[in-house]
Amino acid sequence: MKNRYLFLAAVSLPVIVLDQVTKLLIVRKLAYHESITVVENFFEIIHARNPGAAFSFLRDSSFRLPFLITVSIVASVAVIAIYRKLRPEQKLVSLALALILGGAVGNLIDRVRLGEVVDFLNVHWYQHYWPAFNVADSALCVGVGLLALDMIREEKRKKKQC
């Protein structure tokens, strides 16, 4: 049982630390909206802020901050509750949930501390921009992707058994 939670901490804590350290560096080294081109017409480091959720959802809502903080806390508790019930062979789901927890907590820290999330990774194709994101967002997306992959694999296993 202890090893299970050690794995959760071993994955989620480095995500949280890396997320917070990179955001701190961006805030200290770049002025708001300042950017550094890494790959011309494709990738830059930028100091951006997102007061909302994904794709600036709820950006201008008066209840956004309490709502997003509550959702982050509930999601984190739900991830831990689900994690507790995993079978030992569900390693991919364990990794996915640990990444999701790390990402959720990383962005939660920003919301509590700053009232918004610091974003700094900016991918685009010439003038076609994807919304800026950060390490926590990346961990969340990879975690959700791994959950989807596990669901597909599980469905295939069930079909083979029939």
Q: What is the DSSP letter of 87?
A: -
Radius of gyration of the chain (CA): 18
Distance of CA 47 to the CA centre of its chain: 17
Backbone CA torsion sign across 29, 56, 11, 96: negative
Beta strands in 59-158 (DSSP E): 117-125, 128-129
Measured distance CA(155)–CA(160) in Å, rounded: 9
| CA 162 – CA 124 distance, rounded (Å) | 45
SS3 132: coil
> What amino acid positions are annotated as catalytic residues?
119, 137
Candidates 57, 47, 55; CA nearest to 114 is: 47
